[in-house]
Amino acid sequence: MADGEVVLKVEDLEKTYAGNKVLNGVSFEIDRGQIKVICGPSGSGKSTLLRCLNLLTHPDKGRVWLEGKEITHEVGDVNKARQKIGFVFQEFNLFNHLTALKNVSIALEIVKKMKKDEARDLALKELGRVNLADDAHKYPAELSGGQKQRVAIARALAMNPVIMFYDEPTSALDPHLIGEVLDVMKKLAQEKLTSLVVTHEIGFARSVADEIMFMGDGKILERGPPNQVIENSKHEVVQKFFKRINELYRRNEA
């Protein structure tokens, strides 16, 4: 597997919801091992973009390729493609009726047809990777937000995806719990797990992202290395956005 192999390619994605053009021609590529972050104001289409990419929602126009194979319209194979994409939701979406361990192992058993013992061992290993091996037998309602999100990450990792999608993974968390989730994500980024992250966490983007893509009005307005987009953007909208965020951060640190 050559370095620089394109894992995800997106071309001219468009999506309209109730008369609103949420995605207005989005195109980009992600190579193996790259971490790309998408930033932008609410309503700019960020979540819709992620959900179009693993076909939880269907784009109106445009094409998507995963590891060189087009996945946009393949109804039969859409589940196979989804197995290769790890998706972490803002609202965690853990299976409420299952323990943390079962949450991670269930897809291994039913989708990948693993034997119960194998699945259980792999699940425990992944939970260990996110520092939750001791809480394997707890139910989601017994876990804090940060723990839930880490279980969600373990659940996605267990399927051995070729790329991870994170949809504002820390936006629903209390501030003191954000750190533990970002630490796990940073660790995975350092292990070069190809990732596409939608987030407002600029600090995270600055430290691990290879590229930031700024979305506005359904398009990518600017893309480039973090420092370029955050500090040296030529777009007024982008400048305003990061100036505002920096103000908020500075206020918190003061």
Partner 1 sequence: MITIELIVVSVPIGVALAITLGVARVYGNRSVSLVATSIVGIFRGFPAIVTLFIIFFALPDVGVFFSPYWSAVLGFVLVTGAYQSEYVRGSIQSVQAGQSLAAEALGMSKPQEIVHIILPQALRAALPGISNEIIYLILYSSLASYIGVQEIFGVARTFNSLEFKPIEIFLTAGLMYAAIATVCFVGFRLLERRLRIPGLEAAR
Using CB under 8 A as the binding rule, whether residue 95 contacts partner 1 is answered as yes
Read off the amino acid at residue 184.
V
Smallest gap from residue 72 Cβ to partner 1 (A):
16
Among 40, 45, 59, 140, binds partner 1 (CB under 8 A): 140
**Token couple for 184:** 């796990």
d(CA 70, CA 8): 10
User: Minimum CB separation from partner 1 for residue 41, in Å?
Assistant: 23
Q: Which residues pair with 37 in a beta bridge?
A: 197, 212
Is position 111 an interface residue for partner 1 (rule: CB under 8 A)? yes
| Residues with Cβ within 8 Å of residue 74, at least 6 apart in sequence | 81
Cβ 211 to partner 1, closest distance in Å?
24
Tell me the residue type at 103: N
Closest to partner 1 by CB, 111 vs 248, is 111
Q: Which of 85, 185, 197, 229 binds partner 1 (CB under 8 A)?
A: 85
- The minimum distance between CB 69 and partner 1, in angstroms, equals 15
Q: CA nearest 11: which of 69, 67, 61?
A: 61
The C-alpha R_g of the chain, in whole angstroms, comes to 18
Query: Per rule CB under 8 A, is residue 248 in the interface with partner 1?
Result: no
Sign of CA dihedral 200, 31, 51, 123: negative
Question: In whole angstroms, how close is the CB of 10 to partner 1 at the nearest point?
Answer: 18
Q: Taking contact as CB under 8 A, which single stretch among the options 11-19, 31-39, 91-99, 186-194 is the one that binds partner 1? A: 91-99
> Any contact of residue 159 with partner 1 (CB under 8 A)?
yes
| Residue linked to tokens 């998408």 | 38
Query: N- to C-terminal Cα distance for the chain?
Result: 47
Report the C-alpha gap between 91 and 155 in whole angstroms.
14
**Is 54 a binder of partner 1 (CB under 8 A)?**
yes
Q: Residues in the site for partner 1, rule: CB under 8 A?
A: 54, 56, 79-80, 82-83, 85, 87, 89, 91-97, 106-107, 110-111, 139-142, 152, 155-156, 159
